[in-house]
Amino acid sequence: MLDTMSRNGWRITDQRRTLAQIFTNNEGYLSPKDVYDQMSEKYPSVSFDTVYRNLRMLSEMGVLEQFYFMEGGLKFKGSCLDHHHHHLICVNCEKTLTFEYCPMEQQMSLPGSYKILNHRFEVYGICEECQAASS
Protein backbone atom coordinates (compact mmCIF):
# COMPACT_ATOMS: atom_id res chain seq x y z
CA MET A 1 0.00 0.00 0.00
CA LEU A 2 2.82 2.41 0.83
CA ASP A 3 4.53 1.65 -2.50
CA THR A 4 1.33 2.45 -4.37
CA MET A 5 0.90 5.68 -2.43
CA SER A 6 4.46 6.67 -3.29
CA ARG A 7 4.06 5.74 -6.98
CA ASN A 8 0.97 7.98 -7.09
CA GLY A 9 2.89 10.95 -5.74
CA TRP A 10 1.69 10.78 -2.13
CA ARG A 11 4.03 11.85 0.63
CA ILE A 12 4.40 8.94 3.09
CA THR A 13 3.49 10.52 6.42
CA ASP A 14 3.18 8.82 9.80
CA GLN A 15 -0.61 9.03 9.47
CA ARG A 16 -0.54 7.25 6.11
CA ARG A 17 1.77 4.59 7.53
CA THR A 18 -0.73 4.06 10.33
CA LEU A 19 -3.58 3.87 7.82
CA ALA A 20 -1.73 1.18 5.86
CA GLN A 21 -0.94 -0.69 9.08
CA ILE A 22 -4.62 -0.73 10.07
CA PHE A 23 -5.45 -2.69 6.90
CA THR A 24 -2.37 -4.89 7.25
CA ASN A 25 -3.47 -5.86 10.76
CA ASN A 26 -7.09 -6.49 9.82
CA GLU A 27 -8.20 -9.00 7.19
CA GLY A 28 -11.88 -8.13 7.55
CA TYR A 29 -14.00 -5.25 6.38
CA LEU A 30 -13.68 -1.84 7.97
CA SER A 31 -16.16 0.99 7.76
CA PRO A 32 -14.84 4.53 7.41
CA LYS A 33 -15.86 5.05 11.05
CA ASP A 34 -13.88 1.95 12.14
CA VAL A 35 -10.78 3.37 10.44
CA TYR A 36 -11.43 6.85 11.83
CA ASP A 37 -11.80 5.48 15.37
CA GLN A 38 -8.46 3.66 15.10
CA MET A 39 -6.72 6.65 13.52
CA SER A 40 -8.06 9.12 16.08
CA GLU A 41 -6.61 7.06 18.95
CA LYS A 42 -3.12 7.92 17.73
CA TYR A 43 -3.96 11.21 15.98
CA PRO A 44 -6.76 12.96 17.93
CA SER A 45 -6.85 15.90 15.51
CA VAL A 46 -7.44 13.78 12.37
CA SER A 47 -10.80 14.55 10.77
CA PHE A 48 -13.31 12.01 9.54
CA ASP A 49 -13.32 13.77 6.15
CA THR A 50 -9.55 13.28 5.79
CA VAL A 51 -9.82 9.58 6.63
CA TYR A 52 -12.75 9.10 4.25
CA ARG A 53 -11.03 10.98 1.42
CA ASN A 54 -7.89 8.82 1.84
CA LEU A 55 -9.97 5.63 1.81
CA ARG A 56 -11.70 6.66 -1.41
CA MET A 57 -8.44 7.62 -3.09
CA LEU A 58 -6.78 4.34 -2.03
CA SER A 59 -9.76 2.51 -3.45
CA GLU A 60 -9.37 4.40 -6.75
CA MET A 61 -5.67 3.38 -6.77
CA GLY A 62 -6.72 -0.25 -6.40
CA VAL A 63 -5.12 -1.03 -3.03
CA LEU A 64 -8.44 -1.06 -1.19
CA GLU A 65 -11.65 -2.66 -2.34
CA GLN A 66 -14.94 -1.13 -1.33
CA PHE A 67 -18.10 -3.11 -0.63
CA TYR A 68 -21.59 -1.95 0.20
CA PHE A 69 -23.44 -3.95 2.82
CA MET A 70 -27.20 -3.43 3.04
CA GLU A 71 -27.09 -3.23 6.85
CA GLY A 72 -23.53 -2.04 7.41
CA GLY A 73 -23.10 0.51 4.64
CA LEU A 74 -19.82 1.15 2.85
CA LYS A 75 -16.82 -0.86 4.04
CA PHE A 76 -13.24 -1.25 2.83
CA LYS A 77 -10.82 -4.16 2.72
CA GLY A 78 -7.29 -4.57 1.43
CA SER A 79 -7.31 -5.60 -2.23
CA CYS A 80 -6.38 -9.00 -3.51
CA LEU A 81 -3.87 -7.88 -6.11
CA ASP A 82 -2.45 -11.19 -7.31
CA HIS A 83 -5.24 -12.25 -9.70
CA HIS A 84 -8.71 -11.41 -10.96
CA HIS A 85 -11.54 -12.94 -8.94
CA HIS A 86 -14.89 -12.14 -7.37
CA HIS A 87 -16.44 -12.53 -3.93
CA LEU A 88 -19.19 -14.41 -2.14
CA ILE A 89 -19.92 -12.52 1.09
CA CYS A 90 -22.00 -13.55 4.10
CA VAL A 91 -24.26 -10.64 5.10
CA ASN A 92 -24.37 -11.95 8.67
CA CYS A 93 -20.73 -12.63 9.66
CA GLU A 94 -18.98 -11.07 6.62
CA LYS A 95 -17.07 -14.29 5.88
CA THR A 96 -15.80 -13.94 2.32
CA LEU A 97 -14.96 -16.60 -0.22
CA THR A 98 -13.34 -15.86 -3.55
CA PHE A 99 -14.36 -17.54 -6.78
CA GLU A 100 -12.86 -17.46 -10.24
CA TYR A 101 -16.06 -17.34 -12.30
CA CYS A 102 -16.36 -13.99 -14.02
CA PRO A 103 -19.65 -13.02 -15.68
CA MET A 104 -17.80 -10.58 -17.92
CA GLU A 105 -16.16 -13.53 -19.70
CA GLN A 106 -19.59 -14.59 -20.96
CA GLN A 107 -21.05 -12.96 -24.02
CA MET A 108 -23.13 -10.19 -22.54
CA SER A 109 -25.51 -7.92 -24.38
CA LEU A 110 -24.84 -4.59 -22.71
CA PRO A 111 -26.66 -1.41 -23.73
CA GLY A 112 -24.78 1.29 -25.56
CA SER A 113 -21.25 1.05 -26.90
CA TYR A 114 -19.27 1.43 -23.70
CA LYS A 115 -15.61 0.59 -23.51
CA ILE A 116 -15.46 -1.44 -20.28
CA LEU A 117 -12.53 -0.34 -18.11
CA ASN A 118 -13.21 -2.28 -14.94
CA HIS A 119 -15.93 -4.19 -13.15
CA ARG A 120 -16.85 -5.72 -9.81
CA PHE A 121 -19.06 -8.65 -8.98
CA GLU A 122 -20.06 -9.63 -5.47
CA VAL A 123 -22.67 -12.17 -4.41
CA TYR A 124 -24.23 -11.64 -0.98
CA GLY A 125 -25.82 -14.45 0.99
CA ILE A 126 -25.74 -16.36 4.26
CA CYS A 127 -22.89 -18.83 4.84
CA GLU A 128 -23.39 -22.41 6.03
CA GLU A 129 -22.29 -21.62 9.61
CA CYS A 130 -24.76 -18.76 9.98
CA GLN A 131 -27.54 -20.86 8.47
CA ALA A 132 -26.83 -23.66 10.94
CA ALA A 133 -26.67 -21.21 13.86
CA SER A 134 -30.10 -19.76 13.04
CA SER A 135 -31.75 -23.20 12.78
pTM: 0.72
How do strand 96-99 and strand 73-78 relate by DSSP bridges? unpaired
Enter the DSSP assignment of 104.
G
Annotated binding site for Zn(2+): 90, 93, 127, 130
Which pLDDT tens digit goes with each residue over 51-81? 999 999 998 888 888 888 777 788 898 877 6
- Domain span at residue 41? 2-78
Q: Annotated binding site, which residues?
A: 84, 90, 93, 105, 119, 127, 130
pLDDT tens for 24-52 read 898 888 999 999 999 999 999 999 999 99
Q: Same domain, yes or no, for 96 and 70?
A: no
| Residue ranges at the known binding site for Fe cation | 84, 105, 119
Residue that finishes a domain, picked among 48, 78, 108: 78
Same domain, 27 and 92: no
